[in-house]
A and B are shown apart, each in its own frame.
Chain A
Amino acid sequence: MNNSEPTLTKLEETLTAYLDGKLSPADAATFEAAHPEVAAERRQHEQLRAALAKEAPALSHGDFFNHQILREISPAPSPVKRAAFPLWRLAFGAAACMLAAAGIFFAFVGPQKSRSSDYYAQVLSVKAGDPDITAQLVEAGGVAVVWIDGLDALPSNYVLE
């Protein structure tokens, strides 16, 4: 549809105002006298208006209506409390454990027992990327132990899924 509306003629404009009760009683009487047919039109208009007005339904499930809006507008729930052990830390821990196990393995049965004791410690320290996490290889009595400092303890209720 074209949004531009045709301009009303003076008569059409007066009729609209008349139907909407915008004319003074004197003007309305003059208008009715000049155009007797408009009185019937006004009655029809009132009938239609009444018919339109009497069929307003009631909104159903009002509480649910509100609930859905509130769910939509409520601020996003604050991010779930950060896990004490985020994935990267767990991954690092796993990697460190594997390296430690590998170190122990090589210390006992591996072909390169003569490898420098600083080697694993350097690798672990570099992989950690966290200056607070340090690793060192301790060899004593033919046993090599990779000692890692700086990792957080696992919470007692932590469950690995």
Chain B
Amino acid sequence: MNNAPHNTSNGEPGIPAESANDLALVASAQSGDTVAFDALITKYRQRCFAMIYHMTRNEEDAWDLAQDGFVKAWKSLANFRGQSGFYTWLYRIMTNVTLDWLRKKHIRGGQEFDDSIGLRKIEPAATTAPKPTMEPAARMADAEIRQRIDAAIEKLSPEHRAVIVLREIEGLEYQEIADALGCSIGTVMSRLFYARKKLQTLLQDIYEQL
């Protein structure tokens, strides 16, 4: 398995970004240089946005939350001691901003995550079930698959979403995920196990199309 973080489509660098250039920019930003912070935003905005998008499944929300994350990072910049890479540190902030938002959203929406979903069978008439008369065109199939994946991920709790995104998409190691989420490696593995089981159950009928 390739654990190296994938590069984003626009070629922005992946994690970890431990470069001296980053540290110099951070040092300038810590002394109040917004131009230096602007450079850091430009460097990491795509990766932050993509990570948040995968957790929220909504571009506008991801756009706003990424902004919130950068503003919080600016306000907390004095706390950055360089013990980890800047992006790792930024990642934690982005993850926490997104998790907080997801929790509040689901509290407001009165939704409750069903942890037993992995034990249930999907009803043929369920909204996430494939349409029997699915368009054969590849584009339609892609859109359908995307919808199915979105729907499946929306059924995950914020914590399960986070581990899936951080592990399966961002390629973080267990320890990095544990650091980002403030939990143990055992908890990370447990969340991964149950989140995967749920996704497997929800998407089992479309695996052939993936």
Chain A residues close to B by CB (< 8 Å): 1-3, 5-8, 12-13, 15-17, 19-22, 41, 44-45, 47-53, 55-60, 62, 65-66, 68-70, 72-75
Contacts and interface: CB of A to CB of B under 8 A. Distances in A.
Contacts of A68: 67
Nearest to A53: B169
A16 B164 CA distance: 12
A8 B189 contact: yes
B145 interface: yes
A87 to B, nearest CB: 33
Given A21-B1, A50-B210, A58 B9 contact: yes
A56 B193 CA distance: 23
Interface in B139-191: 145-146, 149, 157-159, 164, 167-169, 174, 186-187, 189-191
A20 B164 CA distance: 12
A49 B169 CA distance: 7
B53 interface: yes
B92 interface: no
Given A16-B192, A53-B6, A57-B59, A1 B159 contact: yes
Contact of A47 (B32, B41, B66, B210): B210
A53 B7 CA distance: 11
B78 to A, nearest CB: 13
Interface stretch (B13-21, B43-51, B79-87, B121-129): B43-51
A41 B38 CA distance: 44
A66 B146 contact: no
A60 to B, nearest CB: 7
23 contacts: A1-B115, A5-B187, A6-B190, A7-B190, A17-B189, A21-B3, A44-B200, A44-B207, A48-B200, A49-B169, A51-B145, A56-B169, A58-B8, A58-B9, A59-B66, A62-B42, A62-B45, A62-B46, A65-B63, A66-B41, A69-B41, A72-B67, A73-B75
